[in-house]
Structure formats: C-alpha cells, structure tokens
Amino acid sequence: MSIILIIILGVWLGYTLYQNARVKKAATYLSNDEFQKGMRKAQVIDLRESKSFKDGHILGARNVPFSTIRNFYGQIRSDLPVYLYDQGKTMSKRAALFLSKKGYREIYILKTGYQNWNGKEKKNNI
C-alpha cells in the first residue's frame, strides 16, 4: 500500500514540476512593486469571474474571466505586454500557457495574486 502511495506522490510531484517549468517558460512572475511599475504600459487582465471583479479589482484592469478566455482572447492585443492576475495565481498560470500557445510573448503574472495586492483598487459599492 505504501509503495503505491509513494508512486502516486512521485507522479504528482513530477507533473507539478513539469507544469511549473512550462509556466516559467511562457510567463514571468512579478512582485507587487514590479507589477505596479510596468502596468501603465501593459494590458492588465483580471481573470476572476465578473462578481469578484465588481467587488474589487486593480485600478485600470479589464475583466476577461478565465472561463471565457478561449472565446475572447482575441480582445487582448498580442503586440502589448499582458499582465495577468486572479485571486491567487492558479488561473493566471493556465491562462499564460494558453496565451503563449496563441502567440503572445510578453506575459506577466502577479506573483502573489489579488489577495495580497497592495496597490490602487477600484471597488463598486452597490
């Protein structure tokens, strides 16, 4: 029983390392400060669903929910840097891999996600 568990754990760890290597090839992780410095010259994309976006988002961000990115990625210009974020960074990593396959080259991910954002925000108080 323990051998099977070790094999499963080893396969899972290998897959995780492989995925992380693919993401690092497709995108660059940025700290809050680096993200804030470069975002004026980039397209800031919030990958969370609309309700979360309306509850609060990075000032200047555009909402393209991850669930719709396959249909609406054409609205994101490939000739400008793309700054991605979500609550953590899970969806950002998946979106970065997808956009990279579609020919986007300057892709950046907010390393700490929106949950640890310390910059300017916009909140809709409804």
**How high is the pLDDT of residue 126?**
53
- Report the residue count for the chain: 126
> pTM for the whole thing?
0.88
Distance CA 118, CA 45 (A): 17
Instruction: Give residue 20's pLDDT band: very low, low, confident or very high (50, 70, 90).
Output: confident
**How high is the pLDDT of residue 107?**
98
Where do the structural domains in the chain lie, given as residue ranges?
2-122
Tell whether the model's pLDDT for residue 125 goes beyond 90: no
CB 74 within 8 Å of CB 46: no
Q: Return the closest-CA partner of residue 34 out of 93, 83, 92.
A: 83
The number of beta carbons lying within 10 Å of the beta carbon of residue 78 is 14
* Fold type of domain 2-122: Oxidized Rhodanese; domain 1 (3.40.250)
If you average pLDDT over residues 44-51, what whole number do you get? Answer: 96
Tell whether the model's pLDDT for residue 123 goes beyond 90: no
- The amino acid at 71: N
Mean pLDDT taken over the chain:
94
